[in-house]
Amino acid sequence: MRSITRKIAPVAGTLTRSRFIAAALITMLVPIAMPTGSAAQTGEVRRFELSIKDGKMDGGLRTVRVVRGDAVVLRWTVDQPTILHLHGYDIEIEVRPDAPREMAFEARSTGRFPVEMHGGNGEGRRAHRVLIHVEVHPR
């Protein structure tokens, strides 16, 4: 005759208890390990395809809206060599017809910022013309 013993139950009970303790420890440790709040506030990557034809915005887009903390990428395509200047963030790029270029920045400051075309269309280097506005809204 074989005797049936139930050794499994107490072992399982012990595992459950140690698991509970482990879970409790993890619960206490996780908030300390997490970066303080900043991760939750990190914005999205916002890409905009923008095209200039004949000195004007192709399609007539006037305002790009993003939220503070967003990573913003403005990708420019042009039909003639063009100098573009984002005011406020003070980013200036030169774009050529065969090579679209990007303005990439983190939207740290809220406000309404113009992107100007400098020169172009025989107006001379000093001519400034607003193409679009970038609006950075509070989160």
Binding site for Cu ion (CB under 5 A): 85, 116, 128
Which 8-state DSSP code applies to residue 123?
S
At its nearest, how many Å lie between Cu ion and the CB of residue 89?
Answer: 11
At its nearest, how many Å lie between Cu ion and the CB of residue 83?
Answer: 9
Cα→Cα distances 81→24, 84, 87, 97, 134, Å: 63, 10, 20, 6, 22
Q: Which is nearer to Cu ion, 2 or 126 (CB)?
A: 126
Q: Which is nearer to Cu ion, 6 or 126 (CB)?
A: 126
H-run or E-run covering 65: strand 63-67
At its nearest, how many Å lie between Cu ion and the CB of residue 92?
Answer: 7
Q: Which is nearer to Cu ion, 85 or 101 (CB)?
A: 85
Q: Which is nearer to Cu ion, 117 or 136 (CB)?
A: 117
Proportion of the chain in helix, strand, coil states, percent, rounded to 5: 20, 45, 35
What is the pairing mode between strands 56-57 and 82-86?
A: unpaired
At its nearest, how many Å lie between Cu ion and the CB of residue 74?
Answer: 14
Enumerate the β-bridge partners of residue 103: 74
R_g of the chain computed on alpha carbons: 29
